[in-house]
Structure 1
Amino acid sequence: MGQLFFFSCGYIIFPEWYILHLVNDEQLTAGSGVAVKEKVSRDLAKNTKTVKKVFQDCSDVIYREVQLTDYIKGLLVYIEGIIKVEDVQEHILRPVIQGLAGALPDNPYPLSFKRVSISQTDASSDWEKVINAVLTSNVVVFIQGMDEALLFNAKGGSRRSVQEPQTEAVIRGPREGFTESLRINTALIRFKIKTEKLKLIDMVIGKVTKTDVAMAYIENIAEDQLINDVKKRLEAIDIDGILETGYIEEWIEDNPSSPFPQLQYTERPDTVAAQLLEGRVAIFVDGTPFALIAPVTLWQMLQASEDYYERFFISNMIRWIRIFFLCVALFLPALYIAVTTFHQDMLPSTLILSVAAAREAIPFPALVEAFIMEISFEALREAGIRLPKTVGQAVSILGALVIGQAAVQAGIVSAPMVIVVSLTGIASFTIPRFSLAVTIRMLRFPIMILAGIFGLFGIVIGMVWVIVHLTQLKSFGVPYMAGVAPYRPDDMKDIFSRVPIWKMKKRPPADAPDNLRRIGKTRQLGNDTTEGW
């Protein structure tokens, strides 16, 4: 029984080894640890026996024997659920039968797959290629007397259609988001960037999953060194399976020990298109609606698509609010701990008396009080995410209100601490990128500890440590604080504030050093042509 279980569907785990041991010695021989195979046999019965042994106990593999002519039989092999079944009859069986029926006596086995209306066709006598074709949404046809298998790409199956992104909602902007289909995702980019300079490099990663991965960039805009670096890192990945872009992100990032995200992920085609136009590279993975973008900077993680769809006055106000509340999310609890513990003289007398009265019955110091509330808030937030949508939001909001009020009445925490934690939680929601928001939430706790030990000096120590780390961090060779450290005047047009689109004449030099200009020199105002405001 153990041997039977081990050999069941063994090809899916170790394809080369499995074929080597299952097929007869006449078909396969070993050399240098790699299966060296004989050609596909002209004997249909022999080919049928081989393929059924490889896919033994795989109930989703369909074998359909067909009588192509009075004297010629064939066998169709495909996996149910990952192909378009309707294409098998109309676009494969009918043309193949018609092609064989019209064969000349001196050439009874023409290359009939050329008559098939499916766009992607091939033929192979390599057993490994044939088995891989079955696993990658191909219909394989064996014909009696032919020493090649015909391969027809009929990829299909049930996949989610294009819908509005779930994690990056905007008020103004496109409503389409990526899906789990690689080719639909790349097509969404093609709809937006209609140029032959948009290049897509396909590769397969994962020894077991054999996941399709595509790297996208715009030629003459993206730097050659960046393209080669990303491609080299992707090709160096040696793993049995890739199920999401998170697998690749951890493999190729520059500094895995840093809490800050060094690649941006998004499910918005317009975001990817905008980043490609600035000289960056996008990575698509089949089976996930999220694409990776490299390289990234801290300022890029603080920007949202809406920043460029609204007029620059509105965008700047929203961006300033976002940056302010980033500081609030990181430092407010630590500042409260430092002031109430060490620096009470910094507060007005009436305010410090109010805070002291609220804390009079609290048995814990401010640091412990803050930790209790922060951890409780994080638990409620996580519970709200994991619960079904119909009850998750209600549970998180009601839980925070009920638990906060009960904790104040029980004398466990003070009312000012509840206010501070609530403001901190709201501030963390203003950060547009979830990965950066989680990083800020993580860094908040060590800064709180420093504030509880050293007061305001501890906050300064934590702030200096974060800034020093950010200035040393790089993403594919690009400084994480590019534009500020190192300082570049042109980049400052789109960091803390955004100038009008027609004033952003150049791309970020760190991403596209060889092709900076992206717009013309003038704009038209009525009958006047001007560069000024």
Structure 2
Amino acid sequence: MDVNQSHQSGIISAGSKQVGEDIPIYPSLEKNIAYIKEALGHSSDLVYRTFHFGIDNPNEAAVIYTDGLIDKDFIQNYIMKTLMVDIRDVKLPPNTSSCIEQIESFSVHSGDLKRVHHQSDVLDHILSGDTVILVKDASYGLAISTRGWRDRGVEEPSTQGVVRGPKDGFTETLRTNTALLRRKIKDPNLWIDNKIIGARTKTDVSIAYINGIVNEDMIKEVHERLDRIDIDSVLEGGYLEEYIQDETYTPFPTVFHTERPDAVAAALLEGRIAIIVDGTPFVIVVPALFIHFFQSSEDYYQRADISTFIRFLRFLAFFLALLTPAVYIAITTYHQEMLPTTFLVSLAAQKEGTPLPAFAEALVMEVIFEILREAGVRLPKAVGSAISIVGALVLGQAAVEAGIVSAAMVIVVSLTAISSFVSPAYNMAISVRMLRFVFMLLATSFGLFGIIMGLIFLVLHLNSLRSFGIPYLAPFAPFNMNDHKDTLFRLPLWVMKYRPRLLNQKDITRRNFETKNK
């Protein structure tokens, strides 16, 4: 093995060092192709074609790309045809640098063309779906954007459906997602910054915000947190969430994600920041406050009174999902005097044939329902919902008839389960599902006193949380009267003149009211 071969093998085998890092493009075309093939392990999807072009001073070039990631029609019609047919009889300058400059300036029909000077850049572009042109004795190559892989079309979001509103949702393709945002916000101040995160996956990540509305310090904080991430792979936005969230040891999400372009557009107009990860239809939005997880895009497409009523239902469902089993356990175990006599006698009659205490009944039923819920998610869609519903009915009825649980407990667990589905944010619903067991334990240990103490500690914990420096309970704590126009109540749109004050301190008006009044 010669020195060059051993040098290449050393770079390729070094797992902690990027392949081809700081190695310039070789003058020899054969050597460049051999290096790329070796670096990619002679992969079968690597395609390269060498050819000669020009007369008088014919030169040799190579076109290299990855099959399956490119638009073959574009390569055939606008690269190969141009280089092998259109300029075949063109007199080329004797200087190789002038030759590749002529190709760059006059021969390649592409709006996205970049120069590459190192082998690492060549590999990155090839593996990203670009086509690289290398010319013999040239000091650099040309990377042309020819990405054309098959992707899922724009479809209705599967997790955040609405009765009234847009039906388009994000896809797994980064540029499709940024285009959906551009369609919503046709403002030149919508800026999109790009990063590449992941030492091996080299995942494209975009940061979208509206300049002039967003807090500049918050933009710097987002960039700093993303730049600190040192990880092999980023396969989904959840990889980034765990690195950039403010608090790890909390059941509550401090980062919001959504499939809806209109929800992201509304967040950007409030002064928040969107993080778009290639390969996932979920876009991350920061900062995320507690109140944001109870708001839905549909709130702004219905009348204010209807939206306010629905929001109250969401908060009611939140407390029902969190406290219903715990309150039932506390009252039936410690505080029977709070129940009407007739109802108490009915419960006592039901409990007479069940061997388990109230806490054990609730625990068994809740665990069974959680298993059914997860089974419904994993099962095929055609049978998942049917099996979940039938399973819940059959198991509940069988448990009552077998005397394992009381009928009242089945009603309590069913009400709790239905209430947990009301939340528009799936990750907040999961937090409630986990905390429900904690409150059940407090109720069986201390009764209503334990539930009250648990709520106090819960509020204190929420008050201690931050999302990118913003208090999690804002605008409740710290209290801001102006921002309460879009919290528990959703006032008419013409009343909400100002953007949330804690998110930005400039361009706080939603439109120019002074000009309109004139």
- Judge same fold: TM > 0.5, yes or no: yes
1:15 Cα shift?
8.2
CA contact (8 A) 1:9 1:56 kept: no
What percentage of aligned pairs have identical amino acids?
A: 43
Write the distance in 1 (CA, Å) between the matches of 2:239 and 2:333. 44
**What does residue 372 of structure 1 align with?**
364
Higher RCO (C-alpha under 8 Å, 6+ residues apart): 2
SS in 2 for 1:202: strand
Letter in 1 for 2:37: K
Write the distance in 2 (CA, Å) between the matches of 1:12 and 1:275. 45
Shifted more, 72-81 versus 388-397: the winner is 72-81
SS in 1 for 2:313: helix
Write the distance in 2 (CA, Å) between the matches of 1:13 and 1:421. 56
Distance 1:72 1:333, change over 3 A: same
Distance 1:357 1:314, change over 3 A: same
SS in 2 for 1:186: helix
**What does residue 32 of structure 1 align with?**
none
CA contact (8 A) 1:99 1:110 kept: no
Letter in 1 for 2:468: F
Which of 231, 235, 243 in structure 2 is aligned with 1:239? Answer: 231
Give CA deviations for 1:333-356 in whole Å, capped at 9, x if unaligned: 000000000000100000011111
Asked if 1:93 corresponds to 2:80, the answer is yes
1:122 Cα shift?
1.9
Write the distance in 1 (CA, Å) between the matches of 2:100 and 2:9. 36
Write the distance in 1 (CA, Å) between the matches of 2:237 and 2:93. 54
**What does residue 180 of structure 2 align with?**
188
Give CA deviations for 1:310-353 in whole Å, capped at 9, x if unaligned: 00111011111111111100000000000000000100000011
Write the distance in 2 (CA, Å) between the matches of 1:9 and 1:96. 35
Which of 103, 114, 136 in structure 1 is aligned with 2:91? Answer: 103
Q: How does 1:179-328 map to 2 (within 5 A)?
A: 179-328=171-320
Name the TM-score, length of structure 2 as normaliser. 0.93
1:254 Cα shift?
0.4
Write the distance in 2 (CA, Å) between the matches of 1:395 and 1:472. 42
CA contact (8 A) 1:79 1:137 kept: yes
Q: How does 1:14-25 map to 2 (within 5 A)?
A: 14=15, 16=17, 18-19=19-20
Write the distance in 2 (CA, Å) between the matches of 1:8 and 1:357. 79
Distance 1:12 1:346, change over 3 A: farther
CA contact (8 A) 1:11 1:54 kept: yes
Write the distance in 2 (CA, Å) between the matches of 1:167 and 1:9. 47
**What does residue 152 of structure 1 align with?**
144
Shifted more, 505-514 versus 388-397: the winner is 505-514
Give CA deviations for 1:346-393 in whole Å, capped at 9, x if unaligned: 000000111111111110100011000000011001100110110000
**What does residue 52 of structure 1 align with?**
37
**What does residue 381 of structure 1 align with?**
373
RMSD: 2.1
Distance 1:515 1:297, change over 3 A: same
Write the distance in 2 (CA, Å) between the matches of 1:99 and 1:259. 64
CA contact (8 A) 2:498 2:508 kept: yes
CA contact (8 A) 2:194 2:205 kept: yes
Write the distance in 2 (CA, Å) between the matches of 1:43 and 1:523. 66
1:520 Cα shift?
4.3
Letter in 2 for 1:306: E
**What does residue 104 of structure 2 align with?**
113
Distance 1:190 1:154, change over 3 A: same
SS in 1 for 2:205: strand
1:96 Cα shift?
2.8
- Aligned pair count? 504
CA contact (8 A) 2:273 2:286 kept: yes
CA contact (8 A) 1:9 1:55 kept: no
Letter in 1 for 2:90: G
Distance 1:147 1:523, change over 3 A: closer
Letter in 2 for 1:296: A
SS in 2 for 1:131: helix
**What does residue 66 of structure 1 align with?**
51
Write the distance in 1 (CA, Å) between the matches of 2:443 and 2:184. 49
Letter in 2 for 1:463: L
CA contact (8 A) 1:301 1:436 kept: yes
Unmatched 5+ residue regions in structure 2?
1-7
Unmatched 5+ residue regions in structure 1?
1-6, 20-34
Write the distance in 1 (CA, Å) between the matches of 2:389 and 2:401. 18
1:141 Cα shift?
1.8
Name the TM-score, length of structure 1 as normaliser. 0.91
**What does residue 31 of structure 1 align with?**
none
Write the distance in 2 (CA, Å) between the matches of 1:431 and 1:18. 47
1:132 Cα shift?
1.6
Letter in 1 for 2:407: A
